[in-house]
């Protein structure tokens, strides 16, 4: 029987804002550009973010090879400070493959894994099948497991509160990232999960509201663009400076709603280019945004004040 103290050192640090890193690709070869990835990670890790996620939705995980996933985790491990955590996305369609990817991510340096549900055989994947899947993965995992409710705009299964609550009883399943942006549903999860279970929001426009509900923090695509500001929302809220947290939230909410939510990975990458970081093209079949949309994104960043200040500075 696994003790509930298992993984305690990681679990105790599992709060705040995490950055689901993008995957820069070499424009000539199309290969993962680890030098550009390192530069992006050094930029965000110089702020007060709690850590990064490699191999998430924003990182185009489903478009990466196994070797690229491992290389990205290894690169990230070298960039983080001792105080920052490295999470790796390891969800796959089979329990066997998810278990293998989880073990591989751990060997590459991940502190915990983020596991989206299998979804291809959606009609056949009821409550019991998903419970069995996640328990089997967690039983074999060398590191803590975080459930991942991917955005419903992706091909995914919606994790019910009863499912999340039941899985929260497993000593190795320690948290949930919920990217639906549905605050009542998030509150429902928070009401029913085990006491130490960490719930994160994936919507960068609603971090402040989620913190008010009791969330542990956010795993936020918008934090690729404005890591210092996203982290400061959490820090200000924790310190009782709620007016400051609310002010920053209002400033970055349009960036989430119109860039991350409106244009997805191609929009985030275009914004990174405008901010002087490494965005570059997404991997096919995703397509880069056009010049007109790029100018709209430029206007959003300028209006929020992020093209007139040093990148990453509040």
Mean pLDDT of 12-32: 96
Q: Is 186 left (phi over 0), alpha (psi -120 to 50) or beta?
A: alpha
Query: Do the domain assignments include residue 194?
Result: yes
Looking at residue 131, what is its pLDDT? 98
The closest of 216, 211, 273, 295 to 248, measured between CA atoms, is 211
Q: How far is CA 70 from CA 105, 143, 311, in A?
A: 6, 16, 28
Query: Do the domain assignments include residue 269?
Result: no
Q: How far apart are CA 133 and CA 129, in angstroms?
A: 6
Query: Do the domain assignments include residue 183?
Result: yes
Q: How confident is the model at residue 313 (pLDDT cuts 50, 70, 90)?
A: very low
Looking at residue 310, what is its pLDDT? 44
Q: What is the pLDDT of residues 42-92, one digit of tens each?
A: 999 999 999 999 999 999 999 999 999 999 999 999 999 999 999 999 999
Q: How confident is the model at residue 314 (pLDDT cuts 50, 70, 90)?
A: very low
Q: What is the pLDDT of residues 208-267, one digit of tens each?
A: 999 999 999 999 999 999 999 999 999 999 999 999 999 999 999 999 999 999 999 999
Count structural domains, the chain. Answer: 1
Residues annotated as part of the active site = 177
Query: Do the domain assignments include residue 189?
Result: yes
Q: Which CATH number goes with the domain that contains 93?
A: 3.20.20.70
9 and 111 Cβ atoms separated by less than 8 Å? no
Q: Percentage of residues in the chain with pLDDT exceeding 90?
A: 92
Host domain of residue 33? 8-249
């Amino acid at each position: 029987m696994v003790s509930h103290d298992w993984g305690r050192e990681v679990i105790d640090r599992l709060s705040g804002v995490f950055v689901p890193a993008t995957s820069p690709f070499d424009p000539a070869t199309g290969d993962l550009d680890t030098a550009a990835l390192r530069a992006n990670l050094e930029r965000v890790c110089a702020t007060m973010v709690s850590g990064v996620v490699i191999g998430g939705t924003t990182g185009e995980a489903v478009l990466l090879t196994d070797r690229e996933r491992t290389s990205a985790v290894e690169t990230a491990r070298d960039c983080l400070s001792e105080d920052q955590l490295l999470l790796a996305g390891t969800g796959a369609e089979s329990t066997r493959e998810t278990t293998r990817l989880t073990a591989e991510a751990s060997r590459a340096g991940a502190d915990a894994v983020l596991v989206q549900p299998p979804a291809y055989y959606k009609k056949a994947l009821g409550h019991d099948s998903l419970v069995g899947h996640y328990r089997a993965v967690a039983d074999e995992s060398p590191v803590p497991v975080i459930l991942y409710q991917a955005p419903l705009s992706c091909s995914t299964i919606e994790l019910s509160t009863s499912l999340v609550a039941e899985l929260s009883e497993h000593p190795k399943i320690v948290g949930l990232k919920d990217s639906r942006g549905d605050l009542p549903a998030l509150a429902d999860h928070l009401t029913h999960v085990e006491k130490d279970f960490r719930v994160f929001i994936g919507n960068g426009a609603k971090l402040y509201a989620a913190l008010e509900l009791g969330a542990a923090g956010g795993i936020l695509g918008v934090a690729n663009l404005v890591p210092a500001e996203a982290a400061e929302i959490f820090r200000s809220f924790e310190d009782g400076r709620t007016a400051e947290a609310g002010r920053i939230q209002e400033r970055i909410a349009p960036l989430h709603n119109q860039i991350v939510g409106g244009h997805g990975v191609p929009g985030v990458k275009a914004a990174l280019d405008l901010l002087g970081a490494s965005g570059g093209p997404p991997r096919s079949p995703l397509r880069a945004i056009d010049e007109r949309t790029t100018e709209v994104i430029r206007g959003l960043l300028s209006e929020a004040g992020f093209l007139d200040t040093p990148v990453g500075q509040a």
